[in-house]
Amino acid sequence: MRNLFWHRFKGNGLAVAGGIIVLILFFVAVFAPVLSPYNPDDIDRKHILEPPETAHFFGTDDLGRDVLSRMIWGSRISLAVGFVAVGIATVIGMLFGALSGYYGGWTDRIIMRFIDIMLSIPTFFLILAVIAFIGSSIWNVMAVIGLTMWMGIARLVRAEFLSLKEREFVLAAKALGASDLQIIFRHIMINSMAPVLVSVILGVAGAVLLESALSFLGIGVPPPMPSWGNILTLGKDNIEIAWWLSVFPGLAILVTVLGYYLLGEGIREATDPRLWHSER
């Protein structure tokens, strides 16, 4: 099965391209201190709003800071927010989804009605309201995004549990005296991870986009901490004279989101048993 997955994945050119983009982003984020040509917070008032040139490949901002350096360090912020927020959402979603799918009955009804209520609230406006109330910081942004993204994962895990809990290996575990926690975490949860992994990868793209939007509106990652979103804000304020402040961070967000979506869709197609049978 693993060989079949790898064969299908590497045969999907778009999925491989997405994987390469994600790896490059990881490399840039991890080695930001080495790759960054300048300190992202260094102010140089002699070179304010200079266009891209040899000394500053992506130009400078309204304080003379090197845009390329700020974008390289901003990749750390964007990816950190994405992974921490999705990690929070995954833990909550898997817990609620597992309880709902395994126990059913009133437990299922209560959890699913709560999820329906959460889904009925516009997520972005809920995030805006909460951050406006508790204040903007990188940790608040991570927590709020994570606490508003778990519903989709919960419904996905619930569906997997409803399908798997009647399988023979679960019945055998019950016959051997395994507890509910052992069955949930040792048997069913492991076998439901493939679709969850796809949802997590797509969720990272969504979290990066949300963080950028919040920072663009001025309530996300607070300055002077570099973020693609707050670089875009400077671009908006200087759109007529500094096009590079909008183009380069906008392209970075576009490529990042596209890379994660391509990778997630590639993994989904490679792990879909229906497509395996259609190719045999």
Is 264 in contact with 17 (CB distance < 8 Å)? Answer: no
Total Cβ atoms within 10 A of residue 111: 20
Give me the residue label for tokens 């991890």: 30
Q: What is the pLDDT of residue 93?
A: 94
What pLDDT, on the 0 to 100 scale, is given for residue 174?
A: 84
Q: How many residues does the chain have?
A: 280
The domain 2-38+66-279 is placed in CATH, from the list 3.40.50.2000, 1.10.3720.10, 3.40.605.10, 1.10.1270.20, at: 1.10.3720.10
Place of tokens 């350096």: 69
Percent of the chain at pLDDT > 70 equals 95
Give the closest residue to 174 by CA, choosing from 165, 159, 162: 165
Helix, coil or strand: residue 43: coil
pLDDT at res. 238: 84
| Kind and range of the H or E run holding 270 | helix 244-270
| pLDDT confidence of residue 273 | 58
- 53-76 per-residue burial string, b: 16 or more CB within 10 A, e: under 16: eeebebbbbebbbbbbbbbbbbbb
Dist. CA 200–CA 91, nearest whole Å: 11
| C-beta separation of 27 from 211 below 8 A | no
Token digits of residue 155:
């419904």
pLDDT at 240: 84
pLDDT tens for residues 172-201? Answer: 888 888 888 888 888 888 888 878 888 889
> In sequence order, what are the beta bridge partners of 189?
none
pLDDT for residue 55: 86
Q: Domain segments of the chain: what residues?
A: 2-38+66-279
Show the low-confidence residues of the chain (pLDDT under 50): 277
pLDDT at 279: 52
